[in-house]
Amino acid sequence: MSDSTILDMFRLDGRVAVVTGASSGLGVVFARALAEAGADVVLGARRVERLADTEKAVETAGRRALSVRTDVALPEDCQALVDAAMAEFGRVDILVNNAGVGTAAPATRETPEQFRQVIDINLNGCYWMAQACGRVMQPGSSIVNISSVLGLTTAGLPQAAYAASKAGLIGLTRDLAQQWTGRKGIRVNALAPGFFESEMTDTYPEGYLDSQMPRVLVGRKGDPMELAAALLFLVSDAGGYVTGTTLPVEGGMLTS
């Protein structure tokens, strides 16, 4: 009979996690949480100079960190990130596809360039990262795509590109799980966060978040640690029987 406890199922000792968009906001919280659970963390971001603080957070948790300048819209950057992870650590067990941008442009005025940029980073970039990791991941590995509640509902702002990218990410999650879970042993899931403090929420119009709170049954914005806890469930053995699903973490917003 095993001496392990239920909490041991959430441990990530000996594993290596890749986190994109790791220079700010939720990416920093995710990287720290993964390190606290025992994983070494490979950090990717376009603003590589801003990864120093994230590196320090990982190392403070007693784990190793590696920073790689990465624009996920470029497939060659995604491959280079995975190559660097393999050269440094010899394995990739977890991918957190967190890099993303948001817009709020009216549909009749949004330019093709604006729309393509959002799709390129939020959707295509997640695919290029998943491809690169999927080539080296071993059975038992896990991918979590950070979608959004806006992939499942609307929230009063003109966000066609963002909503389309996040809804597309949910479809991508289902398909990659169908392709890889049985054949490769790689689980693929998505998180659909509601309103959490981030660089993106800082750009919202004044009063917007307060106007949306009546839709949130819990009555408040989410604590980033609550989202990190859900991530830890999905990437660890605790979520070993979960694949191809999207887990909303949105305070009950979808019930309204």
Residues with catalytic roles: 162
- List the Cα angle 64/31/250 in 5-degree steps: 165
If phi over 0 gives left and psi between -120 and 50 gives alpha, with beta otherwise, what is residue 140?
A: left
Structure tokens at 172: 């991508």
CA gap 12, 6 in Å, rounded: 13
Residue with tokens 């009749």: 108
Structure tokens at 120: 């390129």
Query: Is 148 in contact with 173 (CB distance < 8 Å)?
Result: no
Structure tokens at 42: 């490979």
Identify the bridge partners of residue 65 per DSSP, sorted by sequence position. Answer: 41
